[in-house]
A and B are shown apart, each in its own frame.
Chain A
Amino acid sequence: MKSLEELSALKAEALKKSNLGPDAATTRVVVGMATCGISAGATPVYEELIKQVAQKSPNIMVSQTGCIGICCMEPIVEVHEPGKEKVTYVFMTPEKVTKIVDQHLINNQVVEEYTIGAAQ
């Protein structure tokens, strides 16, 4: 790294690639994959999500992330759609993935029964 300018250019590029900024191009789905998530069974959820998204809606981004915070409800999947409040799905299983991909990621309808509000 040579200068702040180089870093800024890298940041602009990284924002595009990661869909982390306010003007993200596509939906970003993250799975909590810290020790708490993995021990609760996040790995098969993550793999199933990658498989189904690749088949049904390959433009959506799926990523792993660290501890989301509410460890007692792991595995957690969060859906960040551009310009919308994120949606938090808790107690995830590979079986629940299909409904989230079909109903939410493809047809834009939140699967309320799997969200954090329904679990509380």
Chain B
Amino acid sequence: MDTVTSLKNTKFFASQERVALRNCGIINPELIDEYIARDGYQALGKVLTTMSPEEVIDTVKRSGLRGRGGGGFPTGTKWEFASKSVNDVKYVCCNADEGDPGAFMDRSVLEGDPHAVIEAMTIAGYAIGAHQGYIYVRAEYPIAIKRLEIAIKQARDYGLLGKNIFESGFDFELELRLGSGAFVCGEETALMTSIEGNRGEPRPRPPFPAVKGLFGKPTILNNVETYANITTIILKGAEWFASMGTERSKGTKVFCVVGKIKNTGLVEIPMGTTLRDVIEEIGGGIPNGKKFKAAQTGGPSGGCIPASLIDTKIDYDNLISIGAMMGSGGLIVMDEDTCMVDIAKFFLDFTVDESCGKCTPCRIGTKRLLQMLEKITSGNATLEDLDKMEELCYYIKANSLCALGQTAPNPVLSTMRYFRDEYIAHVVDKKCPAGVCKKLLKYEVDEDHCKGCTACARVCPVNAISGEVKATHIIDQDKCIKCGACMDTCKFNAIEKK
């Protein structure tokens, strides 16, 4: 068989559909001419010279595009609200404060095709009647920032930003604002508060940003990937975009496939592709012959999809109905060696760190939730604790001020829904079935296999193993720190993890 020499002909690429990523990995992102060579700024030209703002909004509405940051709110409807808010000053914002663990979609778009976002934001400005835009990008993305700065300058030099663009009388300016790494600043009201120069904390809604947003003016805020779809929708038409996807989720979605998977990377698939296709075909399956256990979507706000639901078609509504969510596009694949209680603990640890502290349910609730999970993973919990924990989850969801708190219990609820047996094993049997939670682990020497070679005793960092040469060795459980060094060293598979 001939060797496959092009990425295009691999299974990884074959079922992908590149809309938001159409220029990523093709053009030089630091040259505006290469963007223009690939039909760049044609959509802006078409909008400013031939379309009314109402027609633009109508096109976006008909395309069925929904917010790619994870919420899934219809983009055209959002623009329509802002366009109908009467005010002489309005703003267009872009949310590039990507913070979910394992997610890098926005970074890849900004690093690979920054002009796509600039052009789309200008179109959005025209549609709602705004003349100023802000891109809120996290400071941890230095390459994305550098390429955005270059792109904005080039667009200005070409007169594609600034005064009287395409001699239409429409003016638009764009500035960057750097976030300093607070996860909560990805929440829309906190993001705007941060742009205003204040501490990034959310505020209650309503009023919604479309009525009263940045600096108290009507504002739209969309995610990087949402903007990256706009120009193609304008050029190829709403019908073309709506022909891809499922009934209520149109177009494509970019995912970062990471974790226990062969082909880690950035993929863009039509909505409605099954999780099985993403993992087995595009992702190439699980390495080392392990079994697929679950996939986590939506980061700390999302939930997990267990192996039994691998044929789920990925779209906004299907994922919500099984207790997960689309999220911004992080897809963390887990195999049989992953402990689901430990995963829930990992995400809670993250939200406890990132809770801004403004409202009590989130600040104290997530901390208490984490403590309960720690109690479970150290083998001290009772079944009653599980019920209490569930109750606390619903309390935090119902009472938190912003989406960070409202969604923080999701990883716990969704793992409890699909992997309750694992929770019970931790609580009742004091065992971690995946062998991850250290406090529940025990290393023991198998008498039948031990040859008394002393290799384990020599490698143990805390001298917990004793025994004569050629006699069965013993591990002192009080001293053992469960590092696993003995198990890795033993040539006779005589050490068992229980």
Interface residues, chain A, with chain B CB atoms under 8 Å away: 1-4, 7, 10-11, 13-15, 17-18, 20-21, 30, 32, 34-36, 38, 63-72, 76, 78, 85-88, 110, 112, 115-118, 120
- Nearest neighbor of A74 in chain B, beta-carbon distance: B265
- 19 A-B Cβ contacts within 8 A? A3-B45, A4-B45, A11-B39, A14-B34, A18-B33, A18-B34, A20-B37, A34-B111, A35-B104, A65-B28, A67-B266, A68-B24, A69-B7, A69-B266, A70-B7, A70-B10, A71-B264, A88-B6, A112-B5
Whether A2 and B167, one on each chain, are in contact in the complex, defined by CB atoms closer than 8 angstroms, is: yes
Determine the chain B residues whose CB is within 8 A of the CB of A110 once the complex forms: 5
- Nearest neighbor of A89 in chain B, beta-carbon distance: B5
Determine the chain B residues whose CB is within 8 A of the CB of A67 once the complex forms: 21, 24-25, 108, 111-112, 266
Taking a contact as CB atoms closer than 8 A, the residue among B2, B6, B9, B25 that contacts A30 in the complex is B25
Given contacts A63-B28, A66-B113, whether A35 and B7 have CB atoms under 8 Å apart is no
Complex Cα–Cα for A70 and B258 (A): 11
Complex Cα–Cα for A63 and B38 (A): 16
- Nearest neighbor of A70 in chain B, beta-carbon distance: B265
- What's the minimum C-beta distance from B301 to chain A, rounded to whole angstroms? 23
Determine the chain B residues whose CB is within 8 A of the CB of A36 once the complex forms: 104, 108, 266
> Is B160 interfacial (CB-CB < 8 Å)?
yes
Whether A1 and B3, one on each chain, are in contact in the complex, defined by CB atoms closer than 8 angstroms, is: no
Give residues of chain B (193-233) contacting chain A, Cβ–Cβ below 8 Å: none
Q: How many A-B residue pairs have CB under 8 A?
A: 161
> Is B85 interfacial (CB-CB < 8 Å)?
no
Taking a contact as CB atoms closer than 8 A, the residue among A7, A18, A69 that contacts B41 in the complex is A7
Whether A112 and B3, one on each chain, are in contact in the complex, defined by CB atoms closer than 8 angstroms, is: yes
> Is B166 interfacial (CB-CB < 8 Å)?
yes
Whether B13 and A20, one on each chain, are in contact in the complex, defined by CB atoms closer than 8 angstroms, is: no
> Is B159 interfacial (CB-CB < 8 Å)?
yes
Main DSSP-derived SS at the B contact region: loop
Give residues of chain B (288-318) contacting chain A, Cβ–Cβ below 8 Å: none
Whether B13 and A35, one on each chain, are in contact in the complex, defined by CB atoms closer than 8 angstroms, is: no
Give residues of chain B (1-35) contacting chain A, Cβ–Cβ below 8 Å: 2-10, 12-13, 16, 21, 23-31, 33-34
> Is B394 interfacial (CB-CB < 8 Å)?
no
Whether B37 and A85, one on each chain, are in contact in the complex, defined by CB atoms closer than 8 angstroms, is: no
- What's the minimum C-beta distance from A68 to chain B, rounded to whole angstroms? 4
Whether B108 and A20, one on each chain, are in contact in the complex, defined by CB atoms closer than 8 angstroms, is: no
Whether B112 and A10, one on each chain, are in contact in the complex, defined by CB atoms closer than 8 angstroms, is: no
6 extra A-B contacts, CB within 8 A, seeds A70-B265, A118-B3: A10-B158, A35-B144, A63-B28, A67-B112, A69-B12, A115-B3
Whether B49 and A10, one on each chain, are in contact in the complex, defined by CB atoms closer than 8 angstroms, is: no
Taken residue by residue from 383 to 394, chain B's Cβ proximity to chain A (1 for < 8 Å, 0 otherwise) reads as 000000000000
Residue from B7, B29, B266 with most neighbouring chain A CB atoms (10 Å): B7
Taking a contact as CB atoms closer than 8 A, the residue among B27, B49, B107, B111 that contacts A3 in the complex is B49
Whether B158 and A1, one on each chain, are in contact in the complex, defined by CB atoms closer than 8 angstroms, is: yes
Determine the chain B residues whose CB is within 8 A of the CB of A1 once the complex forms: 41, 45, 158-160, 165-166
